[in-house]
A and B are shown apart, each in its own frame.
Chain A
């Protein structure tokens, strides 16, 4: 069993729909990252969080430490949101928060 599990693996939506991508992890973590990877490969960090909720534009990320679960929500989805969304966790504190364990990614396609 992977330490980081994402669901769904594939998600198709119509423009304007509300989207939720889920991430569950099996061990204690110090931080969780949500990343976006567009076709062509570049990776952008969307959020880094260790508790509660963060919002940036139409994107919202939440985390429940007790339940070891995080969600990424996209409101009013748009075709430009089509990308792979990757959850990654930092398993330990200390000196390397960038030592990440990655989920397998969720492929999101938003149709006009």
Chain B
């Protein structure tokens, strides 16, 4: 058990809908990272939050947004969903800003039908 909790584990929805994925980091970790794993693109970095502030953005679509709350949990919001958004979404946490081991959650499997 990594100590990082992601909910829900599975999510099935329809095109055009909006969903929210949640990540609770390990106790004491200030950084949360979001990654997307799809069959065609593999793993890709989406976004990094540190202590409530956005620190880096990767290949994150404009339809996607994220935030980190004062209790350090983070949410990834995906809107106007398309079939191609179907993927496994991971979050990871680290104590500071990543110059240390990353701890991954078990992922949320999103299926857009």
- A residues at B contact (CB < 8 Å): 30-31, 33, 35, 41-45, 48, 86, 88, 90, 95-102, 104-105
Q: Which residues of B contact A104 (CB under 8 A)?
A: 42
Chain B interface size, as a band, is: 20 to 34
Query: Quick check: is B102 within 8 A (CB to CB) of the other chain?
Result: yes
Q: In the complex, what residue of chain A is closest to B107 when comparing beta carbons?
A: A41
Shortest C-beta distance, B48 to chain A (Å), equals: 5
Asked whether, in the complex, the Cβ of B99 is within 8 Å of the Cβ of A31, the reply is yes
CB distance A98 to B92 under 8 Å? yes
A96 near B104: Cβ-Cβ < 8 Å: no
Q: Which of B96-113 contact A (CB under 8 A)?
A: 97-104, 106-107, 109
B2 is an interface residue with CB less than 8 A from chain A: yes
Taking a contact as CB atoms under 8 Å apart, the answer to whether B45 and A100 are in contact is yes
From DSSP, what is the main secondary structure of chain B's interface residues? strand
Residue from A41, A45, A96, A101 in contact with B103 in the complex, judged by beta carbons closer than 8 Å: A45
A-B interface, 10 closest residue pairs, ranked by CB to CB distance from nearest? A97-B98, A98-B98, A96-B56, A102-B43, A43-B104, A98-B33, A99-B56, A97-B99, A96-B48, A96-B55
B2 contact set on A, CB distance < 8 A: 42, 44
B16 at the interface (CB under 8 A from A): no
User: Once the chains are docked, how many angstroms separate the CA of A105 from the CA of B99?
Assistant: 22
Once the chains are docked, how many angstroms separate the CA of A98 from the CA of B44?
Answer: 11
Instruction: Tell me if B99 and A99 are in contact (CB < 8 A).
Output: no
Q: Which residues of B contact A (CB under 8 A)?
A: 2, 31, 33, 35, 42-45, 48, 50, 55-56, 58, 88, 90, 92, 94, 97-104, 106-107, 109
Chain B residue at minimal CB-CB distance from A100: B45
* Whole-angstrom CA separation of A102 from B33 in the bound complex: 14
Query: Which residues of chain A are near B104, meaning CB under 8 Å?
Result: 35, 42-45
Please state if A95 and B97 are interface contacts (CB–CB under 8 Å).
Answer: yes
What's the minimum C-beta distance from B1 to chain A, rounded to whole angstroms? 10
- Residues B43 and A88 in contact, CB atoms below 8 Å apart: yes
- B residues less than 8 Å from A90 (CB atoms): 98
